[in-house]
Amino acid sequence: MSESNEFVRQVAEKKYEFGFTTDVHTEIIEKGLNEDVVRLISQKKGEPEWLLQFRLDAYRYWLTQTQPSWAHVHLPEIDYQAMSYYADPTAKSKEGPKSLDEIDPELMKTFDKLGIPLEERLALSGTAVDAVMDSVSVKTTFKEKLSEKGIIFCSISEAVREYPDLVKQYLGSVVPPKDNYFAALNSAVFSDGSFVYIPKNTRCPMELSTYFRINARNTGQFERTLIVCDEGSYVSYLEGCTAPMRDENQLHAAIVEIVVMDNAEVKYSTVQNWYPGDAEGRGGVFNLVTKRGDLRGVNSKLSWTQVETGSAITWKYPSCVLRGDGSQAEFYSVAVTNNHQEADTGTKMIHLGRNTRSTIISKGISAGKSQNSYRGLVRVGKHADGARNYSSCDSLLLGSECGAHTFPYMDIHNNTATIEHEATTSKINEDQLFYCNQRGISTEEAVGLIVNGYAKEVINKLPMEFAVEAQKLLSVSLEGTVG
Amino acid sequence: MLKIENLHAKVGDKEILKGVSLTIRDGEIHALMGTNGAGKSTLSNVIVGNPSYEVTAGSITFNGQDLLAMSPEERAHAGIFMSFQAPIEIPGVSMTNFMRAAVNARREAQGKEPLKSTDFLKLMREKRKLVEIDQKLMNRSVNEGFSGGERKRN
Residue A29 domain boundaries: 18-440
Q: How far is B81 from chain A (nearest CA, A)?
A: 7
Map residue A263 onto helix, strand or coil. Answer: coil
pLDDT tens digits along A135-184: 777 777 888 888 899 999 999 999 999 999 999 999 999 999 999 999 99
* B76 to A432: CB separation less than 8 angstroms, yes or no: no
Name which of A92, A132, A135 is nearest A114 in CA terms.
A132
Q: How far is B6 from chain A (nearest CA, A)?
A: 24
Distance CA A267, CA A184 (A): 26
Q: How far is A441 from chain B (nearest CA, A)?
A: 5
Nearest to B73 among A431, A441, A449 (CB): A441
Between A413 and A139, name the one with better pLDDT: A413
pLDDT tens digits along A56-91: 999 999 999 998 888 898 888 888 888 888 888 776
Burial of B83 (0-12, 13-18, 19+ CB in 10 A): exposed
Q: Does A120 touch chain B (CB under 8 A)?
A: no
* A453 to B90: CB separation less than 8 angstroms, yes or no: yes
pLDDT tens digits along A299-326: 999 999 999 888 899 999 999 999 999 9
Cβ-based contacts under 8 A for chains A and B? 73
Nearest to B84 among A435, A437, A442 (CB): A435
Q: How many residues does chain B have?
A: 154
Nearest to A441 among B49, B52, B105 (CB): B105
Distance CA A357, CA A325 (A): 10
* B90 to A450: CB separation less than 8 angstroms, yes or no: yes
pLDDT tens digits along A35-61: 999 999 999 889 999 999 999 999 999
Q: Does B148 touch chain A (CB under 8 A)?
A: no
Map residue A467 onto helix, strand or coil. Answer: helix
Q: What is the dihedral of CA A66, A72, A76, A77, to 10 degrees?
A: 0
Work out the average pLDDT over A341-352.
Answer: 94
Type of residue numbered A186: N
Type of residue numbered A255: I
Confidence at residue A10, expressed as pLDDT on a 0 to 100 scale:
43
Sheet of strand B14-24, all strands in order from the earlier edge strand to the far edge: B14-24, B2-11, B54-62, B65-66
Interface list for B 52-111 with A (CB within 8 A): 52, 71-73, 75-77, 81-82, 84, 87-88, 90-93, 97-98, 101-102, 105-106, 109
pLDDT tens digits along A2-28: 333 444 344 434 567 777 777 777 778
Query: Is A140 in contact with A155 (CB distance < 8 Å)?
Result: yes
Position A101 confidence tier, pLDDT thresholds 50, 70, 90: low
As a three-state string, the secondary structure of chain B is CEEEEEEEEEECCEEEEEEEEEEECCCCCCCCCCCCCCCHHHHHHHHHCCCCCEEEEEEEEECCEEHHHCCHHHHHHHCCCCCCCCCCCEEEEEHHHHHHHHHHHHHHHCCCCCCCHHHHHHHHHHHHHHHCCCHHHHHCEECCCCCHHHHHCC
Work out the average pLDDT over A127-139.
Answer: 77
Give Dmax (Cα) for chain B. Answer: 49
* B88 to A431: CB separation less than 8 angstroms, yes or no: yes
Confidence at residue A326, expressed as pLDDT on a 0 to 100 scale:
96
Measure CA A412 to chain center: 28
Distance CA A139, CA A157 (A): 12
Strands (E), A7-151: 27-28, 87-88, 127-133, 136-140
Strands (E), A338-464: 342-351, 357-366, 371-380, 388-397, 403-412, 418-427
Domain presence at residue A470:
no
B75 contact residues in A (CB cutoff 8 A): 438
Has the ipTM of the complex gone over 0.95?
A: no
Residue A169: phi, psi to the nearest 5?
-65, -40
CA dist list (Å): A213 to A136, A137, A286, B59, B152: 10, 10, 14, 56, 50
Distance CA A446, CA A482 (A): 10
Interface list for A 449-478 with B (CB within 8 A): 449-450, 452-457
Measure CA A471 to chain center: 17
Domain presence at residue A480:
no
A432 contact residues in B (CB cutoff 8 A): 88, 90
* B109 to A439: CB separation less than 8 angstroms, yes or no: no
Domain presence at residue A324:
yes
Domain presence at residue A463:
no
Position A124 confidence tier, pLDDT thresholds 50, 70, 90: low
Distance CA A347, CA A408 (A): 10
Per-residue pLDDT at A360 exceeds 90:
yes
Domain presence at residue A401:
yes
* B105 to A445: CB separation less than 8 angstroms, yes or no: yes
B93 contact residues in A (CB cutoff 8 A): 449-450, 452-453, 456
Domains contained in chain A, number: 1
Query: Is A296 in contact with A261 (CB distance < 8 Å)?
Result: yes
Map residue A268 onto helix, strand or coil. Answer: strand
Domain presence at residue A457:
no
Burial of A164 (0-12, 13-18, 19+ CB in 10 A): middle
* A440 to B106: CB separation less than 8 angstroms, yes or no: yes
Nearest to B82 among A438, A453, A457 (CB): A438
Distance CA A122, CA A115 (A): 10
